[in-house]
Structure 1
């Protein structure tokens, strides 16, 4: 499985990469710190899964990034990473992918 990691925090990206490297069937094909780079890398590498932060301070936000990528790569799965727990964020994320499953923290 090819994975793209998108988060504006280096420490978060590096930590996720370290965790994923323990799985032999997972290949991290790239890391991006903003939405524009995420779109470029997604179109280049065609990942199976994108781990995507919603809140990125520069360029495209996570919602716009997700929509842009999903318009081009219809088979990609996006896992949203966010610190926000407000219902509006969940609703907006599901709006872009109505068949998605929402996992809520306890």
Structure 2
């Protein structure tokens, strides 16, 4: 039996997927979550085989950030990303953060079931259309462009702080959320601005939106 947790900010989506998956003889939904933080908590408690993660879950933590945390702390859980975004850069960051698969929200039920069984068995599943685009990109483009992206220089803590700054949280609020000192937040904020070569908060917000760390 494949034990599954579903993380999506829409209750109707969680209910719909739960019905589909529980109907399968080899699958069981053991928990749900409405944002990245709750996904981490539910995963820590139930240790599912597969976590289906939506990346856009405002106003909670970004699914992309949560994916990295969960995969680092619970490597035995395979993470399958479910999203509306179908661009190659997004796919690259998702896989880099530890996801084992990537399925578009408009995919048929059969594809979702195949993806779950694939990642559960240790494989990697990518939507066929996206896989073709990804291979084409690696063949036709210099992959060093990704390595030159300042985003790759950000630490795990900086990746947590960046979207919080962009959402308008102050240093004290961020410090309380992450259980660190205000000085630590200020230091990380300065490093983020320096690494990304940004000069103002509006530029940071625009950057966070471009990287899909926010969803307004």
What TM-score, normalized to structure 1?
A: 0.91
Aligned equivalent of 1:24: 25
For 2:17 and 2:125, the matched residues in 1 are separated by: 21
The answer (yes or no) to whether the contact 2:71–2:99 under 8 Å persists in 1 is: no
Deviating runs (4+, > 3 A) in structure 1? 98-101
Aligned equivalent of 1:81: 82
What TM-score, normalized to structure 2?
A: 0.46
For 2:69 and 2:99, the matched residues in 1 are separated by: 16
Change (3 A) 1:87 1:4: same
Written as runs of structure 1 = structure 2, the 5 A alignment for 1:41-52 is 41-52=42-53
For 2:57 and 2:128, the matched residues in 1 are separated by: 21
User: Which stretch shifts more, 3-12 or 24-33?
Assistant: 24-33
For 2:99 and 2:14, the matched residues in 1 are separated by: 27
Change (3 A) 1:17 1:98: closer
Q: Determine whether 1:102 maps to 2:103.
A: no
Q: Determine whether 1:57 maps to 2:81.
A: no
Greater strand share, 1 or 2?
1
**Two-structure CA RMSD over aligned residues (Å):** 1.7
Q: Determine whether 1:66 maps to 2:90.
A: no
Name stretches of at least 5 consecutive residues in structure 1 with no aligned partner: none
Which of structures 1 and 2 has the bigger CA Rg? 2
Higher relative contact order (CA 8 A, sep 6+): 1
